[in-house]
């Protein structure tokens, strides 16, 4: 039935539901890594984003555009509901995903903070704030100013957020929270990550003390301390220095474990000799908080950062591929809800960096020595970071892969790249420890090829730019789009091959020979511990004592 055949009120409701299904809100459980020029192996800045949540992402792209003086920009809810309008700027930058044509990239993680400070009367939601800023700012410093100006003028609607902001030269961390219902503006602080350092955060406010007299490296809202004093979050007479995280966050043991275990794992892998105490991420109130940034023991390559995004605490006491909870085939996935109760006691699963409910993730690569169209690369992956492929999309491309722009959560489609990656990842849960090796073999093949081809592709693009910049952009576009669609094609083949090879629990051998691959002994021992007698045979089977038919 078409919408023009039903009552207008029902049509509006149906349209709202359809829009929500097609364009659901991004997730609020994300992990971010920030890498400065001096901490990267090639001198690029990098930030990451794992946008986690149950939603079907759609990659967005917009070209630079000029706008008339009286143009307005509509601010809408995920459902399409109009919240308000703001003045449009005279020119907006081109954007691919969350990177613009000037190699500026922004990512976020929802840190929630004090929930009473969410302002439903504000106009700018965090996702819209990132989009607007990418269209209006050219550098990380300018992005901080634009973000602060937008929420000051139009109000901030979300709970607390942490934003990673990177251009080819600098990386900034900005943390923001609202002023409560009926309030105005926001409370925020932004700090430049020192060159040679890396930072990380994951759903928890990370900035504690910050300098009040260093505008080169730290900006903050005028009300950052006074508002906390007025609300009773901070008492200057206490003699304690003001800390943004202490004033505006309320962590619990469960939230500490959920958020800072991921930070700890990134830092312990980048700088093992720091030997950061796990007691803090286990919720010990006396433990020392982790530093906001560290210097890695070795400079990080792009592939190193990809590896950091694929972490389940392997090799630690919290390794999610170990134990009976990993099942017989060592799956690191834990199904929601995170918290559960048995016999009145509360428990929580570990929350890893790599998780099955990731919608999309990216690693931005910004390089100061290259033209923006070539220097900025948006390495984009769909679904679980552990089983995705990071595909290079250059900042200067003029269109994006069709399969990354279609699909919906409530309907499987081979035309949707997101569904293709979900198919492979979900099939892997049938016999994870076996299948993940097959998946990562193809993953490594594709990503290694991209990394190997990158210098050649960029040298060709630079040569074309000397005579025809539009031809250069078309070359990068054809490469990016072509490689993306080739990955989707390969992933379809991989899913079909996995289903064939591991059908009904067997492992297909040569020809018609199927190999029986049962359960590992470690897991069988757990079965026997729970039911020691049910599966026991009382006597050894021999021809002499065989039972009659």
CA distances, 369 to each of 45, 66, 93 (Å): 12, 28, 20
Token pair listed for 114: 């004090």
CA distances, 189 to each of 70, 108, 148, 221, 342 (Å): 32, 14, 10, 6, 41
Token pair listed for 181: 């219902």
Contacts with 428 (C-beta within 8 Å, 6 or more apart), sequence order: 387, 435, 436, 439, 498
Provide the pLDDT for residue 37.
98
CA distance 236 to 442: 58
Distance of CA 258 to the CA centre of its chain: 15
The model carries a pTM of 0.93
| Residue in the block written with tokens 């008339």 | 68
Check if the beta carbon of residue 56 is closer than 8 Å to that of residue 360. no
CA distance 527 to 542: 26
Provide the pLDDT for residue 16.
37
Provide the pLDDT for residue 19.
34
Contacts with 373 (C-beta within 8 Å, 6 or more apart), sequence order: 101, 394, 395, 396, 461, 465, 469, 472, 473, 476
CA distances, 341 to each of 252, 262, 324, 344, 348 (Å): 17, 23, 18, 6, 9
Residue by residue, pLDDT tens for the chain (549 residues) are 333 333 343 333 333 333 333 344 555 579 999 999 999 999 999 999 999 999 999 999 999 999 999 999 999 988 889 999 999 999 999 999 999 999 999 999 999 999 999 999 999 999 999 999 999 999 999 999 999 999 999 999 999 999 999 999 999 999 999 999 999 999 999 999 999 999 999 999 999 999 999 999 999 999 999 999 999 999 999 999 999 999 999 899 999 999 999 999 999 999 999 999 999 999 999 999 999 999 999 999 999 999 999 999 999 999 999 999 999 999 999 999 999 999 999 999 999 999 999 999 999 999 999 999 999 999 999 999 999 999 999 999 999 999 999 999 999 999 999 999 999 999 999 999 999 999 999 999 999 999 999 999 999 999 999 999 999 999 999 999 999 999 999 999 999 999 999 999 899 876 667 788 899 999 999 999 999 999 998 766 677 766 666
Exposed, middle or buried: residue 7 (CB in 10 Å: 0-12, 13-18, 19+)?
Answer: exposed
Provide the pLDDT for residue 12.
35
3-state percent breakdown (helix, strand, coil) of the chain, nearest 5? 35, 20, 45
CA distance 257 to 202: 11
Provide the pLDDT for residue 549.
67
């Amino acid at each position: 039935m078409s919408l023009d055949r039903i009552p207008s009120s029902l049509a509006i409701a149906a349209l709202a539901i359809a829009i929500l299904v097609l364009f659901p809100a991004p997730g609020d459980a994300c992990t971010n890594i920030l890498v400065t020029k001096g901490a990267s192996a090639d001198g690029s800045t990098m930030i990451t984003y794992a946008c986690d949540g149950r939603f079907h992402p759609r990659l967005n792209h917009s070209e630079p555009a000029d706008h008339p003086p009286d143009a307005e920009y509509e601010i809408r809810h995920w459902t399409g509901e109009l919240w308000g309008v703001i003045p449009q700027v005279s020119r907006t930058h081109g954007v691919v995903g969350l990177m613009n044509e000037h190699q500026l990239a922004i990512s976020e993680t929802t840190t929630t903070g004090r929930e009473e400070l969410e302002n439903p009367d504000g106009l700018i939601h965090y996702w819209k704030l990132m989009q607007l800023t990418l269209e209006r700012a050219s550098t990380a410093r300018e992005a901080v100013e634009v973000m602060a100006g937008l929420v000051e003028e139009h109000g901030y609607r979300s709970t607390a957020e942490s934003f990673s902001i990177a251009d080819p030269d600098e990386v900034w961390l900005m943390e923001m929270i609202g002023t409560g219902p009926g309030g105005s503006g926001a409370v925020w602080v932004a700090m430049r990550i020192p060159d040679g350092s890396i930072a990380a955060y994951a759903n928890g406010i990370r900035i504690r003390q910050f300098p009040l007299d260093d505008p080169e490296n730290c900006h903050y809202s005028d009300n950052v301390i006074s508002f906390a004093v007025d609300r009773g979050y901070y008492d200057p007479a206490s003699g304690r220095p003001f800390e943004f995280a202490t004033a505006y966050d309320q962590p619990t043991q469960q939230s500490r474990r959920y958020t800072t275990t991921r930070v700890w794992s990134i830092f312990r892998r980048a700088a093992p000799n720091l030997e950061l105490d796990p007691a803090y991420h286990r919720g010990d109130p006396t433990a020392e908080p982790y530093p906001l940034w560290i210097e890695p023991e070795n400079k990080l390559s792009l592939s190193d950062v990809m590896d950091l995004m694929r972490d389940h605490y392997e090799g630690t006491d919290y390794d999610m591929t170990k134990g009976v909870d990993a099942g017989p085939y060592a799956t690191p996935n834990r199904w929601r809800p995170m918290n559960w109760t048995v016999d009145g006691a509360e428990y929580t699963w570990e929350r890893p960096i790599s998780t099955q409910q990731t919608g999309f993730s990216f690693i931005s690569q910004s390089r100061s020595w290259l033209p923006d169209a070539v220097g900025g690369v948006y390495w984009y992956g769909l679904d679980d970071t552990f089983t995705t492929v990071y595909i290079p999309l250059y900042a200067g491309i003029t269109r994006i892969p069709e399969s990354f722009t279609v699909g919906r959560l409530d309907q499987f489609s081979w035309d949707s790249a997101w569904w293709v990656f979900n198919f492979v990842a979900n099939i892997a849960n049938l016999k994870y420890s076996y299948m993940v090796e097959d998946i990562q073999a193809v993953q490594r093949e594709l990503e290694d090829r991209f990394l190997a081809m990158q210098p050649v592709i960029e040298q060709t693009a630079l040569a074309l730019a000397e005579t025809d910049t539009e031809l250069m952009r078309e070359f990068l576009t054809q490469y990016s789009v072509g490689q993306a669609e080739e990955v989707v094609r390969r992933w379809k083949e991989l899913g079909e091959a996995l289903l064939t090879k591991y059908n009904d629990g067997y492992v297909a051998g040569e020809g018609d020979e199927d190999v029986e691959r049962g359960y590992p002994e470690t897991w069988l021992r757990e079965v026997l511990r729970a039911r020691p007698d049910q599966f026991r045979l009382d006597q050894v089977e021999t021809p002499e004592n065989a039972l009659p038919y």
